[in-house]
Amino acid sequence: MSERIQPRTLKGFRDYPPAAMIPREWIIDTARRVYRSYGFSPIDTPALEHLEILTGKGSAETDKQLYRFQDHGGRSVGLRFDLTVPLARFVAQHIQQLGTPFKRYQIANVWRGENTQRGRYREFMQCDFDTIGTASASADIETVLVINDLLVALGFEHFTMRVNNRLVLNGLLEKLGLTAQATHVLRALDKLAKVGSETVAQELAAIATPAQAAAVLELAALIGDNESILAQLQPLLAGSPLGERGIGELTDLHVALRAAGVPPERLQLDVSIARGLDYYTGMVVETFLDELPEIGSVCSGGRYDNLTQLYAKQELPGVGASLGLDRLLAAMEELGRLPKVQTTAQVLIPFFAAECRDRYLALASRLRGRGLRVEFYPEPKKLGKQLQYANRQGFLAALILGDSEFAAQQCQVKNLATGASQTVGYREDVQEIMDALQPILATS
Amino acid sequence: MSERIQPRTLKGFRDYPPAAMIPREWIIDTARRVYRSYGFSPIDTPALEHLEILTGKGSAETDKQLYRFQDHGGRSVGLRFDLTVPLARFVAQHIQQLGTPFKRYQIANVWRGENTQRGRYREFMQCDFDTIGTASASADIETVLVINDLLVALGFEHFTMRVNNRLVLNGLLEKLGLTAQATHVLRALDKLAKVGSETVAQELAAIATPAQAAAVLELAALIGDNESILAQLQPLLAGSPLGERGIGELTDLHVALRAAGVPPERLQLDVSIARGLDYYTGMVVETFLDELPEIGSVCSGGRYDNLTQLYAKQELPGVGASLGLDRLLAAMEELGRLPKVQTTAQVLIPFFAAECRDRYLALASRLRGRGLRVEFYPEPKKLGKQLQYANRQGFLAALILGDSEFAAQQCQVKNLATGASQTVGYREDVQEIMDALQPILATS
């Protein structure tokens, strides 16, 4: 046999054992269920793309971080660094067959050779949903409704969707004569919550007069309830067609979301939300957990005018958002919201009468037929050892039977959280066992 | 704006539009549900591994097909070509914390720079489940039960799980003095169904006498019901301790699977099932659809003695199998079992009274609250256009309302398969709509 190889993962990459993967799968399932409830449909695209599809589509930083190499045919290829560029390529290629509106979600890994010192990983998952091919306000409204439903489905009640419209900012810049400096201003504004207004003012000084910078910061500092913000915006943007359209769209969005039943405290118009990317052209949204606002937005997105401009002539507007899976998982961990389990099964059947193996297997099959998730321990070992395993894994209940129990058609149902046991009859329909398990399983 | 880039995928890679992705997600969900019902838990590992973890672990062919390159830190890295090598690395690294038995599933893409002329793709998904750290027969039995439950859950009734035990073959080779030529014999046997016994005999001639080759082919040609095969094996393997142990294990497996309720016609002992890999040491299984046996096995696996030998000192036996997702999808397509839909939603609400937008949104929200998947068309267009869209996408029903319907609290429920319509009341609880939809949705 050859020499042993040290088992290890690459720097910046990580394994997901069951304790980490079970909550990930739960979040992914929940996202899919909510996306599907609005008619978003799944797509997938290759991990590898022609390099020319990927380069120059993100920032200078993503270009630098791109995993790129030559494939077996000598082609220059790269691993996707996000799901938006592949979506644009996909839509340009297939939209004639697919038709519009095209509502898709894609939940898949992306790769970036990032500096791992910032606690970032080089492989991470994105969960995007988008509505392509319509400029309709109702698609904007639905995007925010999806975010609301998603956070609620994930068990959050207290969160704030901060909504803005890029036309409001563009209107102000138009009024101030700063349109050519828009990107610079938006990127500076994006840091406002993190670095404070003084630092942003210093950054703005490079491209704006003190009066211009003050006007930008005055707009971004607007606070109050949504009606009051809309009222305060009016005089600041009066005379700017862009700005007035932005206020109109924000007002409409606000009214529609309230009509759709979004609680007022979850929706905050926030003119400081810029979302640095040039990409966005209308509504933008970020979502903060009220208990942990400092971790940043857990679901962000917005409207864009022309998804496929790099690949096709047809103009395709769209709107969408992306769930920050890893950030949300970190938050749920910090808030103690993640169950500590290593198993997907609810019930363990310990194996301690060796000669009864096939009867244990039959019992497990019957319970699975009733919809239970049941693990049968594979080897006859001391019961104590098997119950230790059950506790370590996080099973909710154990069904304990030996040859005398099988003979007497009885079964001991043990609640592993409380230690309490109860003896019930075991017949072919497993009804008494199901009845005894029901209150135990209901607690999880 | 820069020049346009041709939107295209790499040779050997493909996009999955909704019509292809919806059935894929359904199969993946079904596999996960069945795996979980036995207590298998999800794990994930990085797409990229240190090159030394991957090279020399598959065949000369997988080595050649490996996507390999230098990462940003100058490390030699590769994209995984299967999920078994990463599992071995993962287990060697983490088993002390995880404990045994360790039951995991992993559903993830792998990459191979294969020759695409054979209709193979360079990116494909594997759906593996394994029980690690036990030599117990009950883990073998469960592996076959999982395959049975999985195929049934996927809607198949007529399939055959062909089961063998490598000890039976090893016993014969031991008796014939061909142990040193085992790999050659097994690889030749693996082709039996495809190329016939004459060709296999020619291949065996290179390493065996005509009498030895005849004995191997006699064993592989055994047919009959399972009891008869077990009886015929006895004299052929008498005196070989390995062979007798193999017959014992096969007999036990057969009895246990019958006791667990697997229908006799689904289980066929088949001594010709070799599964060429050196890797397997005990039970092996392949699964064929009775309607399409020529597409090959859709779910295969077996028992192995030492998963982690390349990475760790500890000996870890295991057993598992892998669902052939793409092969199964191709089969379901050929058998006309895939629904032709491009949407995940059941119901479309056309948008044709522009001023009622927020009322449509409220109706959609209420129906979602009742568990329906509902799409609201984003733009007010001619009803005919929207119904064309509904038919193209594969919605089951449309809910048609204009301002007069909203005023009258009425709604037209249209069955899109039959064209039949029915007018029902629309109140806040949406009960009448749910009642009218129920028979339409039940048909899908």
ipTM: 0.94
Site of tokens 């039960």: B145
What is residue A17's predicted lDDT score, i.e. its pLDDT? 97
Vertex A288: Cα angle to A282 and A289 (nearest 5): 155
CA B68 to chain A, closest CA, distance in angstroms equals 8
The letter for the amino acid at A209 is T
Distance CA A211, CA A215 (A): 6
Beta bridge partners, B69, equal B77
Over its length of 444 residues, how does chain B's per-residue pLDDT go in tens digits? Answer: 457 899 999 999 999 999 999 999 999 999 999 999 999 999 999 999 999 999 987 788 889 999 999 999 999 999 999 999 999 999 999 999 999 999 999 999 999 998 877 778 999 999 999 999 999 999 999 999 999 999 999 999 999 999 999 999 999 999 999 999 888 888 888 888 888 889 999 999 999 999 999 999 999 889 889 999 999 999 999 999 999 999 999 999 999 999 998 999 999 999 888 876 678 999 999 999 999 999 999 999 999 988 888 888 888 999 999 999 999 999 999 999 888 899 999 999 999 899 999 999 999 999 999 999 999 999 999 999 999 999 999 999 999 999 999 999 999 999 999 999 999 999 999 999 999 999 999 976
Query: CB burial class (10 A; 0-12, 13-18, 19+) of residue A18?
Result: buried
DSSP state of B44: B
The token duo for B238 is 């008498």
- Residues in A closer than 8 angstroms to B94, CB to CB, are 15, 17
Q: What is the Cα A238 distance to its own chain's centre?
A: 38
Distance CA A268, CA A271 (A): 10
Alpha carbon separation from B46 to A116, B83, B85, B405 (Å, rounded): 15, 10, 12, 54
Query: B123–A46: do the CB atoms touch at under 8 Å?
Result: yes
Query: Containing domain of residue A232, as a range?
Result: 159-265
Site of tokens 């759709």: A260
Asked if A192 and A220 touch (Cβ cutoff 8 Å), the reply is yes
CA A257 to chain B, closest CA, distance in angstroms equals 9
CB contacts < 8 A (A, B): 310
This prediction's pTM: 0.95
Residue B187 lies in a domain: yes
Do A84 and A148 lie in one domain? The reply is yes
Q: Which of A301, A319, A340 is the last residue of a domain?
A: A340
DSSP state of B47: S
Concatenated DSSP letters for B247-274? HHHHHHHHHHHHHTT--GGGEEE-TT--
Listed in sequence order, the residues at least 6 apart from B278 whose beta carbon sits closer than 8 Å to its beta carbon are B183
Alpha carbon separation from B12 to B48, B71, B183, B378 (Å, rounded): 19, 23, 31, 36
Do B64 and B191 lie in one domain? The reply is yes
Asked if B216 and B204 touch (Cβ cutoff 8 Å), the reply is yes
CA A405 to chain B, closest CA, distance in angstroms equals 19
Q: How many CB atoms lie within 10 A of CB A70?
A: 11
Distance CA B357, CA B378 (A): 9
Query: B344–A36: do the CB atoms touch at under 8 Å?
Result: yes
Site of tokens 């949204």: A285
Do B356 and B309 lie in one domain? The reply is no
Residue B102 lies in a domain: yes
The tally of CA atoms less than 13 A away on the side-chain side of residue A405 is 21
Q: How many CB atoms lie within 10 A of CB B197?
A: 18
Query: B47–A375: do the CB atoms touch at under 8 Å?
Result: no
Average pLDDT over residues A214-227: 90
Count of helices and strands (H, E) across chain B = 17, 16
Residue A274 lies in a domain: no
DSSP state of A295: G
Concatenated DSSP letters for A388-403? HHHHHHT-SEEEE--H
The letter for the amino acid at B170 is N
pLDDT for residue A339 is more than 90: no
The letter for the amino acid at B56 is G
Site of tokens 């497990």: A364
Phi first, then psi: give them for residue B184, nearest 5 degrees: -60, -45
What is residue A410's predicted lDDT score, i.e. its pLDDT? 96
Which of A22, A145, A309 has its CB closest to that of B42? A22
Strand order in the sheet with B68-70: B48-50, B76-79, B68-70
Which of B36, B73, B256 has its CB closest to that of A11? B73
Q: How many CB atoms lie within 10 A of CB A210?
A: 10
Query: A17–B99: do the CB atoms touch at under 8 Å?
Result: no
What is residue A231's predicted lDDT score, i.e. its pLDDT? 94
* Signed CA dihedral, A6, B61, B286, B184: sign only: negative
Listed in sequence order, the residues at least 6 apart from B214 whose beta carbon sits closer than 8 Å to its beta carbon are B201
* Signed CA dihedral, B204, B208, B211, B212: sign only: negative
Do A166 and A213 lie in one domain? The reply is yes
CA B197 to chain A, closest CA, distance in angstroms equals 34
Distance CA B262, CA B279 (A): 27
pLDDT for residue A116 is more than 80: no
Query: B309–A1: do the CB atoms touch at under 8 Å?
Result: yes
Query: Residue A394: closest CA among chain B residues belongs to which residue?
Result: B39
Residue A9 lies in a domain: no
Average pLDDT over residues A29-58: 95
Query: B260–A123: do the CB atoms touch at under 8 Å?
Result: no
Which of B36, B46, B69 has its CB closest to that of A10? B46
**CATH number of the domain that B239 lies in?**
3.30.930.10
Asked if B131 and B101 touch (Cβ cutoff 8 Å), the reply is yes
Concatenated DSSP letters for B277-326? -TTEEEEEEEEEETT-GGG--SEEEEEES-TTTTT-SS---EEEEEE-HH
Asked if A362 and A433 touch (Cβ cutoff 8 Å), the reply is no
Do A241 and A127 lie in one domain? The reply is no
Phi first, then psi: give them for residue A323, nearest 5 degrees: -85, 130
Which of B99, B113, B136 has its CB closest to that of A72? B113
Buried b (16+ CB within 10 A) or exposed e, A225-234: ebeebbebbe
Do A20 and A149 lie in one domain? The reply is yes
Task: Name the packing angle between helices A166-176 and A210-220 (round to 10°).
Answer: 160
Proportion of chain A above pLDDT 90, given as a percent: 81
Q: How many CB atoms lie within 10 A of CB A355?
A: 10
Count: domains in chain B: 2
Residue B341 lies in a domain: no
Beta bridge partners, B165, equal B283
Query: B98–A17: do the CB atoms touch at under 8 Å?
Result: yes
H or E element, residue B357: helix B357-369
**CATH number of the domain that B372 lies in?**
3.40.50.800
Cis before residue A235, ω within 30 degrees of 0? no
Query: A358–B256: do the CB atoms touch at under 8 Å?
Result: yes
Do A37 and A183 lie in one domain? The reply is no
Asked if B142 and B122 touch (Cβ cutoff 8 Å), the reply is no
The letter for the amino acid at A434 is M
Vertex A97: Cα angle to A95 and A98 (nearest 5): 60
Query: A361–B259: do the CB atoms touch at under 8 Å?
Result: yes
Query: B362–A261: do the CB atoms touch at under 8 Å?
Result: yes
CA A365 to chain B, closest CA, distance in angstroms equals 7
Count of helices and strands (H, E) across chain A = 17, 16
Distance CA B27, CA B154 (A): 7
pLDDT for residue A314 is more than 90: no
Residue B130 lies in a domain: yes
CA A2 to chain B, closest CA, distance in angstroms equals 8
- Which range in A54-68, A387-401, B183-197 is most confidently predicted, on average pLDDT? A387-401
Mean pLDDT of chain A, nearest integer: 93
DSSP state of A265: G
Task: Name the packing angle between helices B357-369 and A137-153 (round to 10°).
Answer: 20
Q: Which of B309, B334, B359 is the last residue of a domain?
A: B334
Do B71 and B95 lie in one domain? The reply is yes
Residue B58 lies in a domain: yes
Phi first, then psi: give them for residue A54, nearest 5 degrees: -95, -35
Strand runs labelled E in A172-308: 267-269, 280-289, 299-304
The token duo for A154 is 């994930």
Residue A285 lies in a domain: no
pLDDT for residue A190 is more than 90: no
H or E element, residue A41: strand A41-42
> Is A167 in a helix, a strand, or coil?
helix
Which of B39, B89, B109 has its CB closest to that of A343? B39
Query: Residue A33: closest CA among chain B residues belongs to which residue?
Result: B373
Distance CA B275, CA B318 (A): 16
Do B278 and B169 lie in one domain? The reply is yes
- Residues in B closer than 8 angstroms to A70, CB to CB, are 69
List the one residue out of A324, A280, A310 whose CA is nearest residue A82. Answer: A324
Query: A97–B378: do the CB atoms touch at under 8 Å?
Result: no
Listed in sequence order, the residues at least 6 apart from A228 whose beta carbon sits closer than 8 Å to its beta carbon are none
What is residue B1's predicted lDDT score, i.e. its pLDDT? 47
Which of B6, B13, B45 has its CB closest to that of A48? B13
Q: Which of A265, A298, A323 is the last residue of a domain?
A: A265
Distance CA A196, CA A219 (A): 14
Query: A378–B72: do the CB atoms touch at under 8 Å?
Result: no
Do B288 and B392 lie in one domain? The reply is no
Do B166 and B97 lie in one domain? The reply is yes
What is residue A1's predicted lDDT score, i.e. its pLDDT? 47
Distance CA B363, CA B353 (A): 14
Query: CB burial class (10 A; 0-12, 13-18, 19+) of residue A7?
Result: buried
Asked if A286 and A266 touch (Cβ cutoff 8 Å), the reply is no
Cis before residue B101, ω within 30 degrees of 0? yes
The token duo for B59 is 């065949």
- Residues in B closer than 8 angstroms to A37, CB to CB, are 345, 368, 372-374
Q: How many CB atoms lie within 10 A of CB A78?
A: 20
Task: Name the packing angle between helices A210-220 and A226-237 (round to 10°).
Answer: 160
Do A166 and A248 lie in one domain? The reply is yes
Query: Residue B72: closest CA among chain A residues belongs to which residue?
Result: A113
Query: pLDDT tens digit string along A119-164?
Result: 789 999 999 999 999 999 999 999 999 999 999 999 999 999 999 9
Distance CA A310, CA A307 (A): 8
Listed in sequence order, the residues at least 6 apart from B388 whose beta carbon sits closer than 8 Å to its beta carbon are none
